[in-house]
Structure 1
Amino acid sequence: MIQVEDLHKTFGDHKVLTGINLTVPAGSTCVILGGSGSGKTVLMKHMIGLLKPDSGKVIIDGEDIVPMGVEALQQVRNTFGMVFQAAALFDSMTVFENVAFPCVSTRGSPRTSSARRSGRGWI
């Protein structure tokens, strides 16, 4: 489960999040909609610990991630998948290499074992 409690974030004089509350029950799907500049990406970055709020809590499976250190946050991040609005494939890699990239970069899986699991070789 994901819970956001009274989340606030400002950048300089610009208030982006002002008291956001959200609960996403385990196993459910949630869509965050809003106009350009409304804080969707800032909220998502808080939910995976890429930003620290000015105040409030972000609770993932019962644990507040706001006070977590780098190693604990990395464990939480490993349970998420996220594609940012301006995301693009690495143009120096094939589609397969782009898809396998998280396995190679976060789990240290060698390219050959990733290729073996997929039944395809690296091109």
Structure 2
Amino acid sequence: VGFLPSPVRAWFESSVSEWNLPSSVILEKQKEDWVEKFDMEKAKYATLCPLQGIVIPKLFGELGYGNARALLLSDISGACLATPEGALLEIADFRRMLRKVLTDLPQFKVLQEDIKLDNFHPIGDKIMILE
């Protein structure tokens, strides 16, 4: 599917979405009394739609889980920068990758507010952001 031209791929993914789910997904459940934060996060995913799967996880949608709402997100894998496995980068590569990801967000008038190392995951030659 990834090799199809963009318009054909978009049509295919919207028509047969169950074929396009990855083998591993993340279910981010709304915490009690965090309705506003959950709604804000969902709105951020909508605003950052062009960056989904590139800079941030892809949002597949909202669903009910137990008595709460939840977001179904792609699993980006990789170790976070807060762990030894995730911190094995050359300084120059780290700076380049971090600068790239932190300049992509403001283009959409969004800032990364939670700058903890465990929200940043090096994946190949880029860093992806959680939260």
Shorter-chain TM-score above 0.5: no
TM-score by length of 1: 0.23
- Greater gyration radius: 1
Larger RCO (CA within 8 A; separation ≥ 6)? 2
- Which structure's residues are more often helix, by fraction? 2
